[in-house]
């Protein structure tokens, strides 16, 4: 097992390095997933043991929850209309996309739903691994969707606004060692509890919940050290790759068409809602468009800073989107599985 794990981790690290070098979106997820999946299809035995998987989920959960600060929470009351827009955008994109993927691409309910989720990639992948969804299809569509969004969203901003596009992400303060150890210990304990209660992606949800508690109250300011969070995302991408088997050109084509459909359909929804929101409240169109666009959290916040949008406004809305997805996706998955079971019983 040690040799297999070493080979698997090496392939994951190689994939991450290649993805960074090539400038791929979400490189620490898509790079390892691609390289490890290719190796798995080629017959290389790849494995991530359960304890390491749970550790990875916990760290990623802590990373996701560290975006919330007391200042951001206090400013939420200023943006009720745009927050409603976020909820509407998520619901229309996810439910409409899932319906279309079932009807047009013949995916099962749970796979279509998770493939249509607008963002929260690591959370979606964790749920995919725990719910029996077609992980290969979800990872193909979501990875391609991330790539398409990264390429298309800047084009949309350039066409609809006069923004000057060039990106640079601001650094953040890291958690102190005592705070990191305290959050990790509480998250692991909560993860075991969630797992015992059969909560999907229990360690991922536990890490996020404990991190939100610590950061939302201001008791544990700072982000998870980048080295640690980067390693966790590389391991997550590697884990996805270990399940990436049975890939055919037809599956890739189907995934690409689905991803393009979700990307352009989602952007159409976001643009329409953005125009509707700015017609009701006095908010800049660029701020609303950037806040509603279902891209990666870090990418959209960095883009907001570069194009001159309100970074606090955009940050809060994307954190809110992830929070809403964290509760909406499991609820929707449970409903979808129940509907599937009722249909199979008929």
Q: Which residue has the higher pLDDT, 164 or 237?
A: 237
17: enclosing H helix or E strand: helix 2-22
Residues 73 and 206: their CA atoms lie apart, in Å, by 20
Tell me what pLDDT residue 88 has: 92
- Helix then strand then coil, in percent of the chain rounded to 5, is 80, 0, 20
**Mean of pLDDT values over 180-201:** 82
Tokens linked to 227: 């080295």
**Mean of pLDDT values over 126-148:** 74
Q: Which residue has the higher pLDDT, 154 or 97?
A: 97
Tokens linked to 172: 């953040």
Angle of CA points 246, 247, 250, to nearest 5° = 125
268: enclosing H helix or E strand: helix 249-280
Q: What is the percentage of the chain residues whose pLDDT exceeds 90?
A: 5
* Class of residue 250 by CB neighbours under 10 A (exposed 0-12, middle 13-18, buried 19+): exposed
Q: Which residue has the higher pLDDT, 67 or 59?
A: 59
Q: Which residue has the higher pLDDT, 94 or 303?
A: 94
Per-residue model confidence as pLDDT tens digits over 10-33: 998 998 898 788 876 567 777 787
Per-residue model confidence as pLDDT tens digits over 252-311: 677 778 888 888 898 899 999 999 998 888 788 888 888 888 865 555 655 565 566 776
Tokens linked to 55: 């550790």
| C-alpha gyration radius of the chain | 19
pLDDT band at 201 (very low <50, low <70, confident <90, very high): low
Tell me what pLDDT residue 31 has: 78
Tell me what pLDDT residue 166 has: 32
Residue 174 pairs in a beta bridge with 223
Tell me what pLDDT residue 271 has: 92
| Model confidence at 167: pLDDT above 50 | no
């Amino acid at each position: 097992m040690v040799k297999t794990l070493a080979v698997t981790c090496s392939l994951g690290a190689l994939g991450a390095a290649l993805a960074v070098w090539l400038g791929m979106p979400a490189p620490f997820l898509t790079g390892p997933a691609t390289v490890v999946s290719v190796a798995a299809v080629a017959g290389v035995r790849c494995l991530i043991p359960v304890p390491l998987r749970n550790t990875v989920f916990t760290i990623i959960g802590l990373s996701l929850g560290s975006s919330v600060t007391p200042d951001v929470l206090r400013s939420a009351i200023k943006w009720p209309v745009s927050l409603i827009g976020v909820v509407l955008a998520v619901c229309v994109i996810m439910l409409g996309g899932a319906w279309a993927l079932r009807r047009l691409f013949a995916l099962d309910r749970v796979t279509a739903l998770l493939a249509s989720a607008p963002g929260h990639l690591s959370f979606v992948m964790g749920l995919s691994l725990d719910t029996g969804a077609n992980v290969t299809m979800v990872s193909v569509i979501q990875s391609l969707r991330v790539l398409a969004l990264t390429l298309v969203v800047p084009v949309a901003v350039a066409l609809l606004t006069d923004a000057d596009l060039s990106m640079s992400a601001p650094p953040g303060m890291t958690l102190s060692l005592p705070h990191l150890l305290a959050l990790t210990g509480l998250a692991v304990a909560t993860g075991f509890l969630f797992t015992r209660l059969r909560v999907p992606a229990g360690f991922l949800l536990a890490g996020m919940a404990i991190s939100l508690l610590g950061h939302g109250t201001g008791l544990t300011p700072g982000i998870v050290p980048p080295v640690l969070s980067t390693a966790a995302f590389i391991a997550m991408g590697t884990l996805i790759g270990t399940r990436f088997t049975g890939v055919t050109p037809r599956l890739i084509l189907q995934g690409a068409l689905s991803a393009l459909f979700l990307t352009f359909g989602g952007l159409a929804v976001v643009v329409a809602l953005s125009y509707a929101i700015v017609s009701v409240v006095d908010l800049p169109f660029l701020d609303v468009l950037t806040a509603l666009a279902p891209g990666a959290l870090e990418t959209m916040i960095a883009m907001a800073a570069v194009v001159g949008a309100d970074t606090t406004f955009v940050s809060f809305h994307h954190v809110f989107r992830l929070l809403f997805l964290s509760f909406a996706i499991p609820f929707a998955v449970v409903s979808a599985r129940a509907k599937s079971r009722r249909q199979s019983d008929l």
